[in-house]
């Protein structure tokens, strides 16, 4: 699905009774396509999945501005930011306390995240790649007072015979083949009974 420029600007703006959003399956975005789509939707408690990984000028500008009941942001999957893409995206989302991003630089020169977390909760968790500079805490970067973390990258554990190599427990301590529980060998996780 491909969107047209500005196609959903303010579509649900001021819909104070809206609690759950419609699906937004578009993978190809357009300039300002979702700008202020849920502006002032004060009862919105969940965000839609945003599957697009390539952003375009202003695509999510102010999308959830003033959504005071929203606690968790949708995963922001894009690896690179563009001009005003997340500008004011969560502005005034006073209960927002969880954001997960995949980009590794802020792109301040194009206001990509200008005021994007202005007025969010004073505590929360910001999950991002290790390469992203999290030293700046303000309304345009990591929210002030939030903890930062890395994506775990942990996938499912397999029950399998051991290969040759050093064996470690989940805490990173080297163990023998007789160790019970989840262990890691050659970068793969196994459950040893």
Tally DSSP H helices, then E strands, for the chain.
Answer: 0, 7
Rounded distance between C-alpha atoms, residue 136 and residue 117, angstroms:
13
Which has the closest alpha carbon to 146: 158, 154, 134? 134
Task: Give residue 153's pLDDT.
Answer: 57
Own/partner long-range contacts of 135-138 (Cβ < 8 Å, ≥24 apart): 136/106
Given a contact cutoff of 8 angstroms between Cβ atoms, the answer to whether 78 and 49 are in contact is: no
Which positions ≥6 away from 90 have C-beta within 8 Å? 64, 65, 67, 70, 73, 96, 99, 116, 117, 118, 120
Domain boundaries, the chain: 1-153, 154-193
The Cα 140–Cα 122 span in angstroms is 14
CA 169/CA 179 separation, integer angstroms: 8
Tokens in use for 84?
């005003």
Can you tell me the distance from the alpha carbon of 133 to that of 135, in angstroms, rounded to the nearest whole number? 6
Residue 1: predicted pLDDT: 77
- The tens place of each residue's pLDDT in the chain, 193 residues long, gives 789 999 999 999 999 999 999 999 999 999 999 999 999 999 999 999 999 999 999 999 999 999 999 999 999 999 999 999 999 999 999 999 999 999 999 999 999 999 999 999 999 999 999 999 999 999 999 999 999 987 765 544 444 444 455 655 566 666 666 566 766 666 666 666 6
pLDDT the model gives residue 2: 82
pLDDT value at residue 43: 97
Q: Check residue 108 and report its DSSP letter.
A: G
- Would the pTM count as exceeding 0.75? yes
**Cα–Cα distance for residue pair 69/122, rounded to 1 Å:** 15
């Amino acid at each position: 699905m491909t969107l047209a420029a500005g196609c959903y600007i303010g579509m649900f703006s001021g819909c104070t009774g809206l609690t759950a959003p419609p699906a937004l399956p578009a993978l190809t975005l357009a300039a300002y396509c979702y700008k202020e789509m849920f502006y002032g939707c004060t009862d919105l408690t969940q965000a839609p999945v945003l599957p697009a990984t390539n952003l375009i000028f202003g695509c999510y500008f102010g999308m959830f501005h003033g959504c005071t009941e929203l606690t968790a942001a949708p995963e922001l999957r894009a690896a690179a930011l563009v001009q005003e893409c997340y500008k004011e995206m969560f502005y005034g989302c006073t209960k927002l306390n969880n954001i997960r991003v995949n980009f590794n630089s802020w792109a301040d020169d194009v206001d990509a995240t200008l005021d994007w977390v202005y007025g969010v909760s004073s505590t929360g968790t910001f999950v991002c790649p290790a390469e992203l500079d999290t030293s700046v805490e303000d309304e345009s970067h990591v929210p002030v007072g939030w903890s930062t973390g890395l994506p775990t990258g942990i996938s499912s554990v397999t029950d399998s015979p051991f290969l040759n190599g050093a064996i470690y427990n989940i805490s990173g301590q080297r163990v023998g083949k007789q160790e019970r529980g989840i262990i890691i060998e050659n970068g793969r996780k196994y459950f040893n009974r």
